[in-house]
Amino acid sequence: MPDPIFADPRLAVVYDAFEDPLRPDLDPYLARAQAAGTRRVLDVGCGTGVLAARLAGLDLEVTGADPAAASLDVARARCDAVTWLHLAAADLPPLDADLAVMTGNVAQVFLTDDDLLAAFEGVARAVRPGGRFVLEARRPQARAWETWVPAVEHRDVPGVGRVRRDFALLDVTLPFVSFRYTVRLGDEVVVSDSTLRFREVDELGEALRRSGFVLESVGQAPDRPGLELVVEAVR
């Protein structure tokens, strides 16, 4: 079940207002999608469709998949050149994709090994033999949660009005880290709790191997060196 921050229609429509509009974290994926021979791209856990829409702007055949219907509603309004699928990664059908990407914290929302394996198996089913899977994950050794402090942000969202979003770290019981967003929309208060699992590279590599991928490279996210890893595998 997706977290309310993505699945609640009241929160999905304001989500992007709190993100960096330039999204430099997406640039490596856009560059990777422009590699020779890449025509079909799958964005797994596409959320509100920011990356998928930008990929479609490169004249690629793009599919975006996400289990949160409210986020997909925002995505559909953003771009009609993408095929939007309302389903979880584990339920992906064969798509003959040349490239699948999994950005943000998507790889960390799978809290059990079985859930992660099922998600990777779904991606493998959707990618053609020889196709590639690129995902990112936070380095546990960076201990990013130690820098997460209570924060309050305000945004003016067209059609919604003034929105306040509070962030709080709830619990650190490694490998799990839990946090909460409290969003105030006028007189309404909506709470969304999330938990991420911080995995080592060898754990990701084992799940990739078992699902039919060969781990090819592990690099640093250019915009977050030392904090985030970019993992590339071949089907």
Q: What is the mean pLDDT of each run of 10 residues along the chain (235 residues)?
A: 95 95 87 89 98 96 98 97 98 98 96 98 98 95 95 95 97 98 96 97 97 94 86 96
Res 233: pLDDT: 97
Distance CA(202)–CA(231), nearest Å, equals 11
Hey, what CATH topology would domain 4-138+199-234 get? Rossmann fold (3.40.50)
Res 37: pLDDT: 83
All structural domains of the chain with their residue ranges? 4-138+199-234, 142-195
Res 132: pLDDT: 96
